[in-house]
Amino acid sequence: MGTAAADVPGVERVVRRDDLGGSEDATFLMRRVQERGGQAGYVCIGTDHPGGHHTATFDVDEQSLAIGVDVLTESVLSALGP
């Protein structure tokens, strides 16, 4: 996924692993998929907002949403192969 993300216009940096500092329900879902032989991944689309996540001042940078859709699209196309 990192390779696909690096080729998307608007992506400034790809971080392959980061300490999110919280517990995510997605990790439980990913584990179940992997236990059954599937592949799973978790993607975060970062934005520059000083208020932080899960705060009253959190505000989504709408431009990052389009970049996120492009990253996911490229990832799916890459996984499907030529």
Give the model's pLDDT for residue 32. Answer: 94
Contact 4, 78 (CB under 8 A): yes
Structural domain spans, the chain: 2-80
Give the model's pLDDT for residue 33. Answer: 94
Give the residue among 48, 40, 45 at the shortest CA–CA distance from 69.
45
Q: pLDDT grade, residue 70 (50/70/90)?
A: very high
Q: How far apart are CA 80 and CA 9, in angstroms?
A: 21
Tens of pLDDT, residue by residue over 1-56, are 678 888 899 888 888 776 665 556 788 888 999 999 998 877 777 777 777 777 88
Tell me phi and psi for residue 49, to 5 degrees.
-135, 120
Task: Quote the pTM value.
Answer: 0.66
Biggest CA-to-CA distance, the chain? 45
